[in-house]
Structure 1
Amino acid sequence: MLEFSQTLVNGLVTGALYSLVAIGLTLIYGVLHLSNFAQGEFAMIGGVAAYLLVREGLPYPVAVIFAFFAAGLIGLVVHFLAFHPLRKGEHINMMLSSLGVSLFLVNLAQYFFSPTPQVVESALSGRTMQLAGIYVSQQRLLIVGVSIVLCLLVYFLLEYTRFGRAVRAASLDPETATLYGIPIYKISFLTFILGVALTGVAGALIGPLYYVYPTMGISLTLKAFVVVVLGGMGNVPGAIVGGLIVGVIESFAGGYISSGFQDAIVFGVLFLVLVFRPQGILTKVQGEKV
C-alpha cells in the first residue's frame, strides 16, 4: 500500500508539470487555433534561464520567477516573427511555422548553451518530508504548490476578469467578438505570451529533478498534446485534469510494468480516447445546429 501511495504521489507531481505545459498549449489553441509544436521549447527556455541565473548566484525561487518572464519575452519575439505575419492565412501555415520555431530554438540552445544535460541547483532537492509514511522531496512539494497556485490564477483570470471574458469570446466566436469591439489580435498576442510563459515556469521547476537540455521540450510537447486531447482542446479545466491523469498513468506504468513502456501506454490511452471520446473526457458533445 505504501508503494502504491508513493507511486501515486510521484505521478501527481509529474502530472502537475504536464498540466502547466498543457494549459499554455490549450490557451494558445483556443484563441489562435494553433497547434503549437514549439510549446515544449519554451519549457526548455525557462529551464535554461533558471540554470544560468542560479549559476550566477540568484536564489532558485527568484530564478523561477525570471523564467516566466524569459519565456514570455522570447514568446513575444516568436509571435511577431513567426505567427503574426501568418495570422490571416490558413491555420496549417502557423502550425508548420511552429515546427520551424521548434527546430530553431533547439539548435540555438545547442549552440549557445550545452547539449549535455545540466541540473538546476535547488536547496529543496535534497530535503525530504515524510507525510503519512510517504517520503516527498520539498522540490516536489514546491512543484505541486506552484502548479496549484498558477492553475487557480489562470482560472480566476479567465472567469472573473475583463481580459478573461475577451479570451473566451475570441475563442468561441472571433467574428462576433470583433463586432463587439474586442481587439482579437491583441488578445491573441497576450494569450500566446501567457501560454508560453506558464510553460517556462514548468521548465524551471523540472530543472532540479530531471535536468535541463536543448531537446527536453520535444517529449513535453508530445505529452502536452496527449493531455489536451484527453481533456479537450481549448478546455483549461480539462488540461489540468488530463495532466494529472497522464502523470499518474505514466508513474504506475513505470512502477508496476516497466519504464520502457511508459510512453507506449500513455500513447495507447491517447489512441483509445481518439477512438471512443475524440472531443475529450471533459468536453460535452454538442449537437449539430440545423
Structure 2
Amino acid sequence: MRRIAAELDLRPTKQWGQNFVIDPNTIRRIVQAADVTADEHVLEIGPGLGSLTLGLLDAAAAVTAVEIDPVTAARLPRTAAEFRPGAEDALAVLHADAMTLSEQALAEVRPAAAGGPTALVANLPYNVAVPVLLHALAVLPGLRHGLVMVQEEVADRLAAGPGSKVYGVPSAKAAWYADVRKAGTIGTQVFWPAPRIHSGLVAFTRREPPAGGASRREVFAVVDAAFAQRRKTLRAALASWAGSPQAAEDALVAAGVDPRARGEALDIAAFARIAEHGPRRAAEEVSA
C-alpha cells in the first residue's frame, strides 16, 4: 500500500477521510466478521488503495468499489490485476460520491453476470459515515447485511438501543432498516496515517421496517424532532412537529406513548406509531 501511494504521489486528505488499512490481519478480521459468502456481490465504499478490496475479492464472487478520489479509483483495477491475477474481472470500480449512489449507477458498472450487491463492507470515511450508510440502506434495498468500520464513538451510537446515553438519531434511523450491533474495536496503528482515535466495527442485518402506515420520511421527521431537544419531554419536543404541545400529546397518547417520556426511551416502532398518529395523518382521516 505504501509503495502504491508513493507511486501515485498520494498524500491522504482529511477532506475525503483517507486513513488506509495497511495491516493484513485486520483485513482478514474484517472480511471474516462480515460473513461474506462465495456467491455474493459485495459493495465497498471508499476502497482507497485497495487493501480491503483484495480481501473481499478472495471471499466474494464480485466486488463493486465506489471511490470519490479519481487517482485511487483509476489505480484500483491495476492493483487487483497485480495482486489478484485472474480475479480482476470480478471487480468493478465506480468513480463517484457515495452520497449520489443509486441502483442504476451500480448496474451500469457492475461486473459481468453479477446481480445487485447483497452485502456492504467498507472502511467508511469518519466525517460522512452515518449519512453514507443510511443513504446506501435507503437506495439499495437488496443489501441484506454488511459490516462497516467507523469512528468508535459513531459505532457505539449506531448500535445503541433505547435507554442508552448514546442512543439518538443515528441509532433510531439505522434501526428502521436493520438489526445493528457492534462487532469489535480496531486500534489506530493498523492505519496509514494513524488516526488519533480507535475505530469500531458495526454489523447489520436487514429486516422489514416497523409495521404501520407511516412512511420513512414521516417517521424520520418525528425522530429528528424528538432528539433536537432531547432533554425535553416528548410533549414539548414534538410541539413544533405536531403544531402545538396539545396536538403532540394527542398523537403520543394515540400511539400509546407517555407524553412525559423522552426520545431516548423509544424504539423505532414507537416512533413509527407516533408518525402514524401525527397531525397531517389525522387531518387526512377527517377529510376522508
Fold similarity call, TM over 0.5: no
Q: Per the shorter chain, which TM-score range?
A: under 0.3
| Larger proportion of strand | 2
Larger radius of gyration: 2
Higher relative contact order (CA 8 A, sep 6+): 1
**TM-score (normalised: structure 2):** 0.28
| Larger proportion of helix | 1
